[in-house]
């Protein structure tokens, strides 16, 4: 990223984007100085809740990145995997009374079993097929997982409580007058730990190096004796574990329900922003989307009214589609995403 | 790298391919009964033009065919007497047979050093041994040591070829299947790479099966050669002998009794009549 900054030319689309960003930030700071204390506090609250919501998106995006990097497969079923993991977890806990510290490893085991099954019954037969065929296969997988989850555990909303802290953070509320959910802070902490752990794993371990090798060149990885099957099982298991984390966080927030599968759609703009191949990118993309949509929801109507005299009510519920517009704009400027790997092409 | 056994049994056959037939996608017959043998400690060349079946032969041996929808339908391949046709590439690498693919295939986003370490994936003999072999590879390819921190995708073609060979060496192979090392490289670099292959062969006792279009260079460094055409072995013999063979001279080295001759003037039907009847 730094290296690419030094080579940046202002005339390029990226340069224009950065200039706009700088102008925007300057305006924002100026505006922040001009408003009164109460509004400023409200702005901080909006920003923080945006950041924390962004972390939740990032958790889902992370699973996508892991699988895409190592197999070039865009795993459409990542969102459903979060739901699937959540269903099993609530099933173990609510229906069988298994305590959380046992139910979580049990669910991890289920996700590992799913990884084995996916390799055995899907991926193995589709080696060397077009990416679009593999993508279609993951769509099928999404339906299968959703169906199995429904048959086993039923389709009503299930409460999930694994003992994560709830309610507003007293520290921030008393000290600074900010209202922030403890659960969201916990999600942020978990995401941070997850990212650091995954980065260390892929950078410094033998298996991690093999994962990156497979991501670069399947054939070459095969030729040096890396077994693709083993690698795929490992990757899908890790993605399953990440899906479980996402499932726990979203489930604790709003109950485990089938709309959980749809958060995968919100992860898509996150990936376009952050780059499909970068773990830090998934996190940063999530934060940008999270904050961006909250800001847009609260402030964009007023701004548009002041600037162009547009009816502010046109911009309500912008939260639902803002992310996609942002992603579209991003595709025009920097299609590989903020941290996506540049495609190295030798001629 | 397995030390070369006493010269007395240097003629022991490591790899024996007998009469294999390969079909791609269930319809395309590419190899029509190829047989060859690679002796311990030798450099064996597999020569022929485009589409002759050199790469397919190597991939049949290293089992990389499996992932390309190719299939061995006839014949057998043995390594030190054991059949290896059903094994997967990972098992073969553990047995000491590794392929360096045509077109290098370095891991573009990994650094040169990470590429080399990825080559040691199958080994379980500890970090110290791997570090020792890393130094050994850097001894043979000093250029790689200079570039160890750069992403392999940004290195030159010659460096990538060195990286690919070095990566294979990191698995401590006994036999390297080397596919078209000269592809796209300047003549000087080709000589350099072949020189290193020869040194690895003599000093580390690595046997090579070398697929190459550049007949001239290959026959200077190899001990024995096979010539493939349209999926069949049409001629084989010691490299020195092949170099002097009038047909090889005419068809592959571009020389004939009347001196150098353009390949364009060689009538292909004559060739077919003499060899492929």
Q: How far is A200 from chain B (nearest CA, A)?
A: 15
* pLDDT of amino acid A342: 62
Picking from A149, A150, A157, A163, the residue whose alpha carbon sits closest to that of residue A99 is A163
Per-residue confidence band for A100, with pLDDT thresholds at 50, 70 and 90? confident
d(CA B185, CA A54): 49
- Helix axis angle for A37-71 and A263-274, nearest 10°, is 90
Residue from the list B101, B114, B151 with its beta carbon closest to the beta carbon of A219: B101
Is A212 in contact with B122 (Cβ distance < 8 A)? Answer: no
The first and second tokens of residue A264, run together, are: 């995968």
In angstroms, the CA B190 to CA A256 distance is 62
B270 against B58, higher pLDDT: B58
Asked if B179 contacts B99 with a C-beta cutoff of 8 angstroms, the reply is: yes
Q: What is the mean pLDDT of residues B91-109?
A: 93
Task: Calculate the dihedral angle through the C-alpha atoms of B79, B82, B88, B89, rounding to the nearest 10 degrees.
Answer: -20
Report the pLDDT value the prediction gives residue A253, as an integer from 0 to 100.
Answer: 83
DSSP state of B8: G
**Inter-chain contact A222–B107, Cβ cutoff 8 Å?**
no
Q: Percent of chain B at pLDDT above 90?
A: 70
Alpha helical stretches, state H, chain B: 54-62, 89-95, 112-119, 126-140, 142-146, 157-169, 187-204, 215-221, 239-244, 246-251, 268-275
> How many Å lie between the alpha carbon of B156 and the closest alpha carbon of chain A?
9
Nearest CA in chain B to A344: B153
Q: Please tell me the distance from the alpha carbon of residue A275 to that of residue A230, in angstroms, as a whole number.
A: 26
| Token pair for B194 | 């072949």
User: Does B59 or B2 have the greater pLDDT score?
Assistant: B59
| pLDDT tens string A220-234 | 999 999 998 899 899
Q: Is the pLDDT of residue A347 over 60?
A: no
Answer whether A75's CB lies under 8 Å from A145's CB. Answer: no
Spatial distance between the Cα atoms of A274 and A330, rounded to a whole number of angstroms: 10
Instruction: Find all residues with CB under 8 Å of B36, minimum gap 6, and list them.
Output: B17, B44, B46, B57, B209, B226, B233, B236
In this predicted model, what pLDDT tens digit does every residue of A32-46 receive, in sequence order? Answer: 888 888 888 888 888
Locus of tokens 């969102």:
A79
- Domain ranges in chain A are 39-266
- Six token digits for residue B216: 């001239």
Round to whole Å and give the CA distance between A258 and A156: 8
Q: What is the DSSP string of A132-150?
A: HHHHHHHHHHHHHHHHHHH
Q: What are residue A12's phi and psi, to 5 degrees?
A: -75, 160
Measure B225 CA to nearest chain A CA, in Å: 24
CA angle centred on A262, ends A101 and A130, rounded to 5°: 100
C-beta neighbour count of B14 within 10 angstroms: 21
Give B-chain residues touching A206 at CB under 8 angstroms: 117, 121
Going by C-alpha positions, the residue among B33, B83, B37 that lies closest to residue B56 is B33
- Six-digit token string for A294: 């909250």
H-run or E-run covering B210: strand B207-212
Encoded tokens for A146: 């959703």
Write the pLDDT tens digit of every residue in A319-330: 888 889 888 988
Interacting residues of A160 by C-beta distance below 8 A, sequence separation 6+: A86, A89, A90, A93, A248, A251, A252, A255, A256
CA A154/CA A256 separation, integer angstroms:
11
Instruction: Report how far residue A25's alpha carbon sits from residue B20's, in angstroms, rounded to the nearest whole number.
Output: 69
State how far the Cα of A334 lies from the Cα of A276, in Å rounded to an integer: 12
Q: State the pLDDT at residue B277.
A: 47
How large is the C-alpha radius of gyration of chain B?
A: 19
Query: What pLDDT does residue B6 have?
Result: 42
Average pLDDT over residues A237-257: 90
Q: Position of tokens 């996150």?
A: A270
Mean per-residue pLDDT, A89-96:
91
Q: Of A178 and A134, which is predicted with more confidence?
A: A134
Q: How many CB atoms lie within 10 A of CB B135?
A: 9
Is B69 in contact with A128 (Cβ distance < 8 A)?
yes
Q: What are the residues of chain B with a beta carbon less than 8 Å away from any beta carbon of chain A?
A: 62, 64, 67-69, 88-90, 92-94, 98-101, 105-110, 114-115, 117-119, 121-122, 151, 153-154, 157, 167-168, 171
Question: Of A302 and A290, which is predicted with more confidence?
Answer: A290
Lowest mean pLDDT among A91-95, A114-118, A269-273, A297-301: A297-301
Contacts of B151 in chain A (CB under 8 A): 344
Q: For residues B200 and B195, give the distance between their C-alpha atoms in angstroms, rounded to a whole number.
A: 9
Strand partners, B228: B233
Q: Which of A212, A213, A222 sits opposite B64 (nearest CB)?
A: A222
Query: What is the C-alpha separation between A328 and A317, in angstroms, rounded?
Result: 18
- Quick one: closest CA in B to A69, which residue? B109
Closest chain B residue to A125, measured at CA: B67
Residue B245 φ/ψ, nearest 5 degrees: -65, 125
The domains located in chain B, with CATH, are 12-104+173-244 (3.40.50.300)
Select the residue from A225, A234, A278, A342 to test the B interface by mutation, using most B Cβ atoms within 10 A: A225
Mean pLDDT for A97-105 is: 91
Q: Which of A52-66, B104-118, B145-159, B211-225 is least confident?
A: A52-66
- What is the rounded distance in angstroms from the CA atom of residue A141 to the CA atom of residue A110? 15
Size of interface A-B (CB pairs under 8 A): 87
- Computed over every residue of chain B, the mean pLDDT equals 88
Q: Do B122 and A225 touch (CB under 8 A)?
A: yes
Note the pLDDT of residue B5: 42
How far apart (Å, rounded) are the C-alpha atoms in residues A308 and A310? 5
- Tell me how far CA of residue A82 lies from CA of A64, A76, A239, in angstroms: 11, 12, 9
C-alpha–C-alpha distance, residues A231 and A222, integer Å: 11
Interface probe for B, chosen from A69, A128, A224 (most Cβ of B below 10 Å), is A224
pLDDT tens figures, A180-212? 788 888 888 888 898 889 888 888 899 999 988
Cα A100 to Cα A43, A91, A192, distances in angstroms: 37, 11, 22
Tell me which chain B residue has its CA closest to the CA of residue A225: B90
User: In the predicted model, is pLDDT for residue B7 greater than 80?
Assistant: no
């Amino acid at each position: 990223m730094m290296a690419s900054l030094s080579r940046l030319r202002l005339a390029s689309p990226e340069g224009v984007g950065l200039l706009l960003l700088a102008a925007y930030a300057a305006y924002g700071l100026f505006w922040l100085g001009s408003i009164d204390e109460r509004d400023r506090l409200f702005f901080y609250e909006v920003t923080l809740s945006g950041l924390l919501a962004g972390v939740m998106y990032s958790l889902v995006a992370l699973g996508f990145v892991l699988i895409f990097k190592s197999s070039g497969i865009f795993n459409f079923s990542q969102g459903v995997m979060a739901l699937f993991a959540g269903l099993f977890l609530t099933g173990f806990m609510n229906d069988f009374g298994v305590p959380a510290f046992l139910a979580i490893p049990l669910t991890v085991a289920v996700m590992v079993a799913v990884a084995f099954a996916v390799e055995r019954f899907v991926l193995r037969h589709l080696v060397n097929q077009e990416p679009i065929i593999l993508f279609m296969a993951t769509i099928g997988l999404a339906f299968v997982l959703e169906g199995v989850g429904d048959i086993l555990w039923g389709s009503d909303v299930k409460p999930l409580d694994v003992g994560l802290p709830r309610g507003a953070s007293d520290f921030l509320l008393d000290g600074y007058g900010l209202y922030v959910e403890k659960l969201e802070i916990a999600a942020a902490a978990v995401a941070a730990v997850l990212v650091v752990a995954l980065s260390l794993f892929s950078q410094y371990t033998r298996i991690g190096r093999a994962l990156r090798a497979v991501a670069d060149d399947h054939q070459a990885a095969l030729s040096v004796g890396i077994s693709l099957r083993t690698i795929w099982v490992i990757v899908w298991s890790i993605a399953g574990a990440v899906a479980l984390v996402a499932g726990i966080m979203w489930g604790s927030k709003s109950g485990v329900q089938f709309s959980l599968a749809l958060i995968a759609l919100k992860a898509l703009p996150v990936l376009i922003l952050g780059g499909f191949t970068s773990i830090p990118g998934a996190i940063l993309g999530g934060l940008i989307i999270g904050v961006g949509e909250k800001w847009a929801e609260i402030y964009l109507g007023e701004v548009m009214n002041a600037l162009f005299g547009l009816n502010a009510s046109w911009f309500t519920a912008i939260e639902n589609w803002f992310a996609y517009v942002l992603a579209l704009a991003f595709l025009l400027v920097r299609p590989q995403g903020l941290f996506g790997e540049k495609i190295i092409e030798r001629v | 790298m397995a030390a070369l056994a006493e010269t007395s049994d240097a003629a022991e056959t490591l790899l024996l391919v007998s009469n294999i037939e390969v079909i791609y996608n269930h319809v395309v017959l590419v190899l029509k009964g190829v047989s060859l043998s690679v002796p311990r400690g030798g450099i064996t060349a597999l020569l022929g033009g485009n589409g002759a079946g050199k790469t397919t032969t190597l991939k049949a041996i290293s089992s990389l065919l499996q992932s390309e929808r190719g299939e061995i339908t006839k014949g057998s391949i043995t390594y030190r007497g054991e059949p290896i046709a059903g094994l997967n590439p990972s098992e073969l690498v553990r047995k000491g047979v590794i392929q360096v693919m045509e077109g290098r295939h370095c891991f573009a986003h990994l650094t040169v050093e990470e590429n080399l370490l990825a080559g040691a994936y199958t080994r379980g003999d500890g970090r110290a041994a791997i570090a020792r072999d890393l130094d050994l590879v850097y001894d043979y390819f000093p250029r790689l040591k200079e570039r160890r921190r750069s992403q392999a995708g940004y290195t030159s073609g010659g460096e990538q070829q060195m990286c690919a060979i070095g990566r294979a060496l990191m698995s401590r192979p006994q036999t390297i299947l080397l596919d078209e090392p000269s592809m796209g490289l300047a003549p000087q670099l080709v000589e350099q790479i072949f020189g290193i292959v020869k040194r690895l062969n003599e000093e580390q006792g690595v046997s090579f099966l070398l697929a190459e279009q550049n007949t001239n260079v290959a026959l200077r460094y190899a001990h024995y050669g096979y010539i493939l055409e349209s999926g069949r072995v049409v001629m084989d013999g010691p490299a020195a002998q092949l170099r002097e063979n009038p047909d090889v001279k005419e068809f592959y080295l571009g020389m004939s009794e009347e001196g150098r001759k353009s390949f364009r003037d060689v009538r292909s039907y004559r060739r077919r009549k003499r060899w492929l009847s």
